[in-house]
Amino acid sequence: MSLTEIALVTIAVSILILVLTLLPAILTMRRTAASVGSLYDMIQKELKPAIQELTSLLAELKTVSGGIAEHTDDVKRFMTALGETGSNLSTINRSVSVVTGVLNTTSAWATGAKVAGKYVLERYLKKRGGM
């Protein structure tokens, strides 16, 4: 065998060893590519509906928050009216307390006047009858 033939055989054996070594790596890359493709398909199937659902949920949240913002003024007016009602009830309560105090005082004065009137009348009648 000549030197060229030995070099060609060595190159052929080297290429054969290289191919045999790279074959499992190539097969693994092929399986990985297939797995990545199926993962991509699954993500497309799962992710698109989820994104659409999130988009619709966002639209609903915007609608709800808009409704809440519209009714915030109503709630503020209601709370203001409620505070004014509480103040008015407090004023009425103080007025009733004052009137009750006046009535109690008047009742005491009336009772005192009644007792004093009876006493004066009895004294007058005794004085008149005793004469």
Q: Is residue 60 part of a domain?
A: yes
106-116 per-residue burial string, b: 16 or more CB within 10 A, e: under 16: eeeeeeeeeee
Q: How many structural domains comprise the chain?
A: 1
pLDDT grade for 15, boundaries at 50, 70 and 90? very high
| Region 23-45 average pLDDT | 91
> Which range (23-27, 71-75, 76-80, 93-97) has the least confidence?
71-75
Dihedral (Cα; 66, 70, 76, 77), 10-degree rounding = -170
Residue 32 has pLDDT above 90, yes or no: yes
Residue 131 has pLDDT above 60, yes or no: no
Q: Is residue 78 part of a domain?
A: yes
Residues spanned by the domain of 81: 1-92
State both tokens at 120.
């004066």
pTM of the predicted model, to two decimals? 0.40
Q: Is residue 111 part of a domain?
A: no
Q: Is residue 48 part of a domain?
A: yes
What is the predicted pLDDT for the residue at 130?
A: 55
State both tokens at 79.
């709370």
